[in-house]
């Protein structure tokens, strides 16, 4: 049974918490924030608290979502993983202990991911029920009917009967058939963002009822948009996925590569860890799930090793003092003539820009 909607006094706090994890962001990863209930990490000495999601590589560390389902904390991201590479990365990750794979219709590689999963199942490496598979509804499939069609395409490509988690990728409706490159006439402005989100979320709720997605949530939503959803949502989103935990060098005016920052190097030396592991551990201890993406075997292994150490309160405090910015501003959805969003502040409702 799904948990009830949070009360209005708690809603803003909850909705705002869904946007944490935007500080330490990366082109190779995503972060999950969510309305979780509890955390169970089976190793001693690791932090426990509401909203932490991490996996030590063998599904021994999970977050319990608001519908009671347990999700592995660390997952493998598959965005920008090239054809011919992503399948091998998924295969190596699962054999190495990953139990959470993050996909999306618009990544255009779900067929190869599906082939890799089927190979793992047939060889007895894992069973379907051992894995947590996430995918995302693309922007040109919003509305009351299209989400079902998008989901069926994803399930066909992944060669699965159900998803563990299905997310609305962006609160940006596009006309049918549009992905990239962006063009002014691609935006669907036949209804307001509120109306579009309501219709789409109600379809997502029906998908959850069907069992083809065990949990549902959103991605790249502002706290304000989450608050608006609570006016009609029967199912509270289980997660809000945000971008990302390893920094995005060269975008949004970022002046320094996060993983080259002297503070992360210093803290990493203290624990015998890499800057990436420090960044990921910070995300976990801040109450987020992390989805680092890499196609290099050594980095895939390294990214999983964040559940066997904890950062001190002092180190956490120092990391939180780093300059904060939104690494993915979504300016590609901004268009004076075609889009609802005339500036980035409109997309994020003025939050963190």
**Residues 6 or more apart from 313 whose CB is under 8 A from it?**
none
Kindly provide the b/e burial profile for residues 54-65, where b requires at least 16 CB atoms within 10 angstroms of the residue's own CB: bbbbebbbbbbb
Instruction: Write down the catalytic residue from 105, 107, 166, 243.
Output: 107
For Cα atoms 36, 41, 46, give the angle at the middle one, nearest 5 degrees. Answer: 110
CA distance 184 to 56: 44
CA distance 86 to 226: 32
Question: Which tokens is 217 given?
Answer: 């949530």
Provide DSSP, 4-49.
PPPPHHHHHHHHHHTTTT-SS--TTEEEEEE---EEEE-STTS---
For residue 107, indicate whether it is catalytic: yes
What pLDDT tens digit does each residue of the chain (353 aa) get? Answer: 222 334 333 434 444 333 332 222 233 445 554 443 333 333 222 222 222 333 333 333 888 899 999 988 899 989 877 778 899 999 999 999 999 999 999 999 999 999 999 999 999 999 999 999 999 999 999 999 999 999 999 999 999 999 999 999 999 999 888 776 677 778 888 889 999 999 999 999 999 999 999 999 999 999 999 999 999 999 999 999 988 777 765 555 556 678 888 999 999 999 999 999 999 999 888 878 889 877 777 787 888 888 889 999 999 999 988 876 666 788 888 887 788 899 989 999 988 76
Q: For 8-346, which CATH superfamily applies? A: NADP-dependent oxidoreductase domain (3.20.20.100)
**Residues 6 or more apart from 72 whose CB is under 8 A from it?**
53, 54, 55, 59, 61, 62, 98, 99, 100, 132
């Amino acid at each position: 049974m799904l948990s009830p909607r949070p009360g209005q006094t708690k809603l803003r706090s909850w909705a705002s918490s869904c946007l944490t994890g935007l500080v330490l962001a990366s082109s190779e990863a995503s972060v999950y924030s969510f309305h979780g209930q509890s955390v169970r990490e089976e190793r001693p000495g690791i932090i426990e608290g509401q909203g932490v999601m991490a996996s030590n590589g063998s599904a021994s560390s999970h977050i319990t979502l608001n519908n009671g389902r347990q999700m592995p904390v660390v997952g493998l991201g598959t965005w920008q993983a090239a054809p011919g590479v992503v399948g091998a990365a998924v295969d190596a990750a699962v054999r190495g202990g990953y139990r959470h794979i993050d996909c999306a219709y618009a990544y255009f590689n779900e067929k190869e991911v599906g082939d890799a999963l089927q190979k793992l199942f047939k060889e007895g490496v894992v069973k379907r029920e051992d894995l947590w598979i996430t995918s995302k509804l693309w922007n040109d499939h919003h509305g009351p009917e299209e989400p079902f069609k998008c989901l069926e395409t994803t399930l066909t490509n992944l060669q699965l009967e159900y998803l563990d988690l299905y997310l609305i990728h962006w609160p940006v409706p596009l006309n049918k058939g549009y992905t990239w490159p962006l063009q002014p006439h691609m935006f669907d402005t036949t209804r307001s963002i509120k109306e579009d989100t309501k219709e789409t979320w109600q379809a997502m709720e029906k998908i959850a009822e069907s069992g083809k997605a065990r949990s549902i949530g959103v991605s790249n939503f502002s706290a304000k948009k989450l608050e608006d959803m609570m006016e009609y949502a029967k199912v509270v989103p289980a997660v809000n996925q945000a971008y990302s935990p390893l920094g995005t060098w060269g975008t949004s005016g970022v002046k320094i590569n996060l993983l080259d920052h002297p503070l992360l190097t210093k803290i990493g030396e203290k624990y015998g860890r890499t800057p990436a592991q420090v960044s990921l551990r910070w995300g976990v201890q801040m109450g987020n799930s992390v989805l680092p993406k890499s196609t290099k075997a050594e980095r895939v292994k390294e990214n999983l090793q964040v559940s066997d150490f904890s950062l001190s309160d002092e180190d956490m405090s120092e990391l939180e003092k780093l300059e904060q910015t939104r690494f993915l501003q979504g300016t590609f959805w901004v268009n004076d003539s075609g889009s609802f969003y005339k500036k980035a502040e409109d997309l994020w409702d003025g939050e963190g820009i």
